[in-house]
Amino acid sequence: VNALGLTTAEAAAPAPLLFLPANGFAIVAADDQVSATAQERLRLQVLGAGTLPSFLPLPVRERIDPEAARALLRDRGAAVGRSLARVAGRVQVMVDASEARGAGAAAPAASGGGGWLHLRAAHEARCAAAAAGLRAILAQLGDVRVIRRGGCLQAAALAPGGADEAALSELAGTLAACTDLSGWRLSVTGPWPAYAFCDLADPTP
């Protein structure tokens, strides 16, 4: 059995998810036969986030022994409770933003060191403006985290659980109309479990 996430004691997990009560909470788990790969675990975590009233996903890359999750609940129960309250009824919506060809890092190379430094400074300024634009729009949904991956931006918002295809399309339209994001390729995906709200990573540009 692999632990997939944490939830409240009152919840009930749909099959094939297993519900293992522990320390006033519950571990959402699945038999190894259906959760051996990261892809399978991801699919099951999406199911958990979509059906449980509150779901805190565990790292998806590795198989996690339920005993490790039990120990976490024993040692950090109060913090887990606060986090479950925070993500209750919410899902994660992701926006990936990369500069369109010719607008940024892919622009023609500068001839000298000074020109190169100015190009990088201009790129930094565009990234900062785009990050601010993403934050401003996504903040209307809920809590926002924006991180930098190379020359790209990855934003996550803790949106209301009803975020469906129509809501994502509407969000994509709003983002496309934002002047701070002109020249950026945008990809909106979701709903996902609240991965970005399960660690402290937030190297905001």
Partner 1 sequence: MSADGGLDVDLAAALAALAPAGRVRIDPDRVEQDLARLVLGLMEFLRQLMELQAIRRLESGSLTAGQEEMLGTTLMRAEAAIHELAGRFGLTPADLALDLGPLGRTV
Q: How far is the CB of 78 from partner 1 (least distance, A)?
A: 9
Q: How far is the CB of 20 from partner 1 (least distance, A)?
A: 15
Cβ neighbors of 139 (< 8 A, separation 6 or more) are: 157
Distance CA 88, CA 80 (A): 12
Residue 36 or 68: which CB sits closer to partner 1?
A: 68
Residue 144 or 170: which CB sits closer to partner 1?
A: 144
Q: Contact residues for partner 1 (CB under 8 A)?
A: 3, 58-59, 61-62, 64, 68-69, 72, 75-76, 79-80, 82-83, 86, 110, 112-118, 120-121, 124, 143, 145, 147, 149-150, 197-204
Residue 86 or 172: which CB sits closer to partner 1?
A: 86
**What letter does residue 148 receive in the DSSP assignment?**
E
Residue 119 or 178: which CB sits closer to partner 1?
A: 119
Judge contact between 66 and 4, C-beta under 8 A.
no
Distance CA 109, CA 22 (A): 57
Residue 9 or 85: which CB sits closer to partner 1?
A: 85
Judge contact between 174 and 104, C-beta under 8 A.
no
Distance CA 49, CA 52 (A): 6
Q: How far is the CB of 79 from partner 1 (least distance, A)?
A: 4
Q: What are the φ/ψ torsions at residue 167 (nearest 5 degrees)?
A: -65, -40
Q: How far is the CB of 85 from partner 1 (least distance, A)?
A: 10
